[in-house]
Chains A and B, each alone.
Chain A
């Protein structure tokens, strides 16, 4: 039986969520847009799910737009805000540690003539991996139409000062989007308290299925749609509703609200135990990212001298499943942009692993992982070639 420690990559669908979904894949197959009774049943279920998702984040249900996931929500927020802005010249502020869904969207906008400022994060020893909100303030210009900063970083788990940034955004009249894909279900979210205009979440990070997410759009915020074909989601995101997915994210959101505090209380000590044991048993192991400002389930640790790729594979073969960097960038030769932005050398970034725990994680699993991991690191270090070669000139 493998020990899964990669809950930031994805989570299992909770049994109650699966149970809630199934009827809508079986007898209850109506299109939520249809006038007849079958459609109305689907519509009612969608409405209820929307309320539930809104409740998870302290929003109104009219402020929820269902999407195919976090990436689409991020794209809709960014491209939608830029397109809706009347400014002739446009500027976006983001951070160096955002997910590729944000950064690649910004890169595409840069190709289209939008200026992008990528604000760095602190490199430690204090507040490593946390952005300085004053740097964001300094970057604001008359042309700035959007600030986009993630709530919790997927690799480090570090939590950004969203409320401070929201205040700055409000003072300067700039829209503020927050990618909360990695914080929903882990820490309480309240869009009013946070002060954001837009926020992305994704079901498969909090025990819902893959393929469904949501974008919070504050009442009065105007965003242009990205796709066309009808009036669903109040003209913000067309297409026949993914009814079973929406029901699922609704149920997952309900469970997250109910269980979040108790999950966090149980998971944080397990994470701490894993972290402490690895630091103790493995020479030169180092935790990356601020340890006080982070989600309760994540620890990112460098094992200098042990290449991450071999480490990851060796651990998988020994039954421990974790990751280096983000799931979607596996197999890349470039070290994690998040870790290098947080000040790690390229070699140390390549020698880092992310362990992320979840609702199903047990103490026995953690204890077993603690038994397995040090030996694997030791073997890899012992067999590593000598000092790393000087690197070839990077491509472009």
Chain B
């Protein structure tokens, strides 16, 4: 297979004036980068993190190319158009514009790649399907597994970049003793995104750089300012990229409406969706307490919006999809000591023979809790916590840690 050598970044002298000015100030080396057989593609979202990654690698003189993924057409669902400005919509024209400005400022080649089909198939549909099935999904992880570190990585290699770099707060390390790549938490615990990366394979980790993993967010913004990255002051998006308003119920309703009645057999959904079908709210002992207005409106651990006057706090304990019932209970009923996980990915080693002691996170914002993980087969495992954990939610991930190392993780099924 032929080698592709990326051209070096555009000549700074003919490129962005600001780059030359910064070079004069000694802030960026405006020299031709050394030619490298292995070039790096940077996944650029237009945000501060990925933009700073681009600036850092440029400053090091690496041969780089910036790529923005076009994932979802924000104008596609007509009902959502009137929802007002959402400045951080995924792949909005503004985000692409911002990413392009950063690339122009850094004088690096830059392209937008369209992954709308793949994203819809591997992220959006499962997202909708999960909610309709009573699970609470993590689309970002699916995107990482199937789009960002899969399709995007393939495209990067096709255009001549053997590695990708992203703005994730996480670290990759090569373990010389075992020969395997390991995923570690970020140094900045508050920003750590390792929870969303548990699904990365050896092949993917081998080709991935996380330049921000050793930095704090504060340091990243400082670097962005020092390198005069155009988006240094841009606020961060907190929402799911394709649901920028946060109103996922409206998104699901609009999407299903566009797809026609989801009861059509060709819709591809694993469950026949009767979106919004109201049903009963029951206690854990089956006593009917009220009515819910569609299971997709609720998530395990939720307290508000139940419409029950109980005198003491009542929480969603489970979403019973089969009987379309919302099961509620007290705080104590929300705590369980075991869960089952599927599609488990192990990172520092292949599937272990016996139980493994680790700390386990069941949500991104969750202090990892002591647990023992027992593989049931190649893809399933049972997690038994030392202490019962609150609101273990099907559809979320259980990610296993050994100190700072991510041992792996899987999807919570029960």
Interface positions of A (Cβ within 8 A of B): 307, 309-311, 313-314, 316-319, 331-333, 375-376, 378-380, 382-385, 389, 391-393, 395-396
Contacts and interface: CB of A to CB of B under 8 A. Distances in A.
B117 A314 contact: no
B204 to A, nearest CB: 14
B335 to A, nearest CB: 39
Contacts of A310: 113, 155, 158-159
Interface string B108-142: 01011110111011000100000000000000000
Contacts of B65: 317
B259 interface: yes
Contact of A317 (B2, B6, B112): B6
A284 to B, nearest CB: 17
Contacts of A380: 158
B302 to A, nearest CB: 30
Contact of B266 (A311, A385, A393): A393
Contacts of B114: 309, 331-333
Given A313-B159, A319-B7, A378 B2 contact: yes
Contacts of A379: 1-2, 4, 158, 160
Interface in B196-243: none
Nearest to B266: A393
A382 B1 contact: yes
Q: Which 5 A-B pairs have the closest CB atoms?
A: A375-B2, A310-B158, A314-B159, A333-B116, A380-B158
Contact of B109 (A317, A331, A389, A391): A317
B121 A389 contact: yes
B7 A317 contact: yes
A314 B120 contact: no
B267 A383 contact: no
Given A314-B4, A375-B2, A392 B120 contact: yes
Interface in B144-197: 151, 154-155, 157-160
A391 B118 CA distance: 9
B76 interface: yes
B343 interface: no
A314 B109 CA distance: 11
Interface of B is mostly: mixed
B73 interface: yes
A333 B72 CA distance: 10
A383 B258 CA distance: 34
A395 B4 contact: no
B121 A392 contact: yes
Contacts of A385: 151, 154
Interface residues of B, number: 32
A375 B158 CA distance: 11
Contact of B76 (A307, A313, A375, A395): A395
Contact of A395 (B2, B6, B73, B268): B73
B154 to A, nearest CB: 6
B74 interface: no
Most B CB within 10 A of own CB, among A310, A316, A317, A376: A317
Contact of A376 (B4, B73, B120): B4
Given A319-B7, A375-B2, A314 B121 contact: no
A382 B157 CA distance: 10
Contacts of B111: 313, 316
B70 interface: yes
A390 to B, nearest CB: 9
Contacts of A307: 158
Contacts of A382: 1
Contacts of A392: 117, 120-121, 125, 268
Given A311-B158, A317-B6, 20 more contacts: A309-B113, A313-B111, A314-B158, A314-B160, A316-B109, A316-B111, A318-B7, A331-B112, A333-B73, A376-B2, A378-B2, A384-B154, A385-B151, A389-B121, A392-B117, A392-B121, A392-B268, A393-B266, A393-B268, A395-B258
A319 B154 CA distance: 21
Nearest to B77: A395
A376 B154 CA distance: 14
A321 to B, nearest CB: 12
Nearest to B67: A313
A299 B408 CA distance: 51
A310 B6 CA distance: 14
Contacts of B7: 317-319
Most chain A CB inside 10 Å of its own CB: which residue of B117, B159, B266, B267: B159
B76 A393 contact: no
A311 B111 CA distance: 12
21 contacts: A309-B113, A309-B114, A309-B155, A310-B155, A310-B158, A313-B111, A313-B113, A316-B109, A317-B159, A331-B112, A331-B114, A332-B114, A333-B70, A375-B2, A378-B1, A378-B2, A379-B1, A380-B158, A383-B158, A385-B154, A389-B121
B271 to A, nearest CB: 17
B67 to A, nearest CB: 8
A209 B37 CA distance: 40
Interface in B1-16: 1-2, 4, 6-7
Contacts of B258: 395-396
Contact of A331 (B70, B154, B155, B266): B70
B69 to A, nearest CB: 11
A317 B116 contact: no
A392 B120 CA distance: 7
A379 B111 CA distance: 19
Nearest to B7: A317
A385 B157 CA distance: 12
Contacts of B70: 331, 333
Given A379-B2, A379-B4, A391 B158 contact: no
A353 to B, nearest CB: 14
Contacts of A378: 1-2
A389 B2 CA distance: 27
B269 to A, nearest CB: 11
A389 B151 CA distance: 13
Contacts of B155: 309-310, 313
A378 B7 CA distance: 19
A248 B258 CA distance: 49
Nearest to B260: A393
A319 B159 CA distance: 12
A380 B160 CA distance: 9
Contacts of A389: 117-118, 121
A310 B114 CA distance: 10
Contacts of B266: 393
A393 B4 contact: no
A336 to B, nearest CB: 13
